Amino acid sequence: KPQLVASNNRFCRFLEEYCPVVTETYYPTIWCWEGRVQTLLRPFITSRPQVQYRNELMKTADGGQISLDWFDNNDSLYYPDASTRPTVLLLPGLTGTSKESYILHMIHQSEMLGYRCVVFNNRGIAGEDLLTPRTYSAANTEDLEAVVHHVHSLHPLAPFMAAGVSMGGMLLLNYLGKTGRDTPLMAAAIFSAGWNVFESIASLEKPLNWLLFNYYLTTCLQSSVSRHRQMLEKSCDMDLVMKARSIREFDTQFTSVMFGYRTVDDYYEDASPCRKLKSVGIPVLCLNSVDDVFSPGHAIPVETAKQNANVALLLTSCGGHIGFLEGIWPRKCTYMDRVFKQFVQAVFEHGNKIFSM
């Protein structure tokens, strides 16, 4: 049974009544219950719902562009008026885009509820060109701030919330910690966020985890920047970047340099959402598994969460990183999908019961 951590009794009661999945026992798929196995198998096992996107290239203040993929849901039976159709902003993980299976499942859940979705693809990874020598990081919230206000300006009457997965969840938490209540978002859902980057990196540098995850992710990061090499050479030594053999080495040679940090440790300090959790000013539900090698259980800020009435942590003993597979043959809905669906619906349809907290 998941552990629900929240200091606000009203928020707890709200979740138990309108998001009952938080009280249900989570039964991981019996033949792949171990966290690393769940993490590795989920992308191959889960189905990929068909989603037709409308792409928008949004210009930024520094001359760059951000690719937004819209699922307008114009056939919505529950919200036929587009001006008031609830909108969910989705943030994928480190090198993820709108094509990730977990994003497609969130959109499928939202479609059934009648909601509109928009996926925020980080600069340079969704096929668009980099117009400036800049990419993205977990700590820099400028692009996310611009996207939030852009989406809100297009549909100012529509209820609006966000959901972030993995690094997308870290970025969203860092944004919320910076803005407090000064955001058009009503609430947020966070899945498998890395709370303390130092602990996440230490876990990923253990020999087996390096072999299974760290090296592969490093090559994905290198691949995402190599196609923009000519532009990025203006700010980084790309030869050193392409020699990196771990995420720490990549961040040392690329991310920390790109965003002007003195050392990679300075970047990791700034990127860790646990430092900003006290300042979150809207209701947030955060799902983590304590066997997630990307966000080890001992680094989840349970005590800090108890100091903020807006925060609820939902912790499972199994599930891995963006895994949460359940059932004998877990092709369709995961536990994470069910948490997303119920929480989003609870906020949009009963949110007035928690906004007086």
Where along the chain do the CATH 3.40.50.1820 domains lie? 3-196+273-353
The CATH classification number of 3-196+273-353 equals: 3.40.50.1820
DSSP assignment of 75-87, as one string?
Answer: T-SS---GGG--E
Side by side, the strands of the sheet bearing 3-5 are 3-5, 311-316, 284-289, 188-191, 160-165, 87-91, 116-121, 65-71, 54-59
Spell out the residues 6+ positions from residue 335 whose beta carbon is closer than 8 angstroms to its own. Answer: 21, 26, 316, 319, 324, 325, 326
Catalytic annotation, residues: 166, 292, 321
Distance CA 164, CA 287 (A): 11
Q: Encoding tokens for residue 143? A: 């692009």
pLDDT in tens, the chain (357 residues): 999 999 999 999 999 999 999 999 999 998 887 899 999 988 888 989 999 999 999 999 999 999 999 999 999 999 999 999 999 999 999 999 999 999 999 999 999 999 999 999 999 998 899 999 999 999 999 999 999 999 999 999 999 999 999 999 999 999 999 999 999 999 999 999 999 999 999 999 999 999 999 999 999 999 999 999 999 998 899 999 999 999 999 999 999 999 999 999 999 999 999 999 999 999 999 999 999 999 999 999 999 999 999 999 999 999 999 999 998 888 788 999 999 999 999 999 998 887 654
pTM of the model: 0.97
Half-sphere exposure (CA, 13 Å, Cβ side) for 80?
A: 1
Helices (H), 205-323: 207-209, 215-226, 229-232, 238-242, 247-250, 256-258, 264-271, 302-305
Residue 113 burial (CB < 10 Å; 0-12/13-18/19+)?
A: middle
DSSP assignment of 302-338, as one string?
Answer: HHHHTT-TTEEEEEESS-TTTT--BSSS-SS--HHHH
DSSP character for 100?
Answer: S
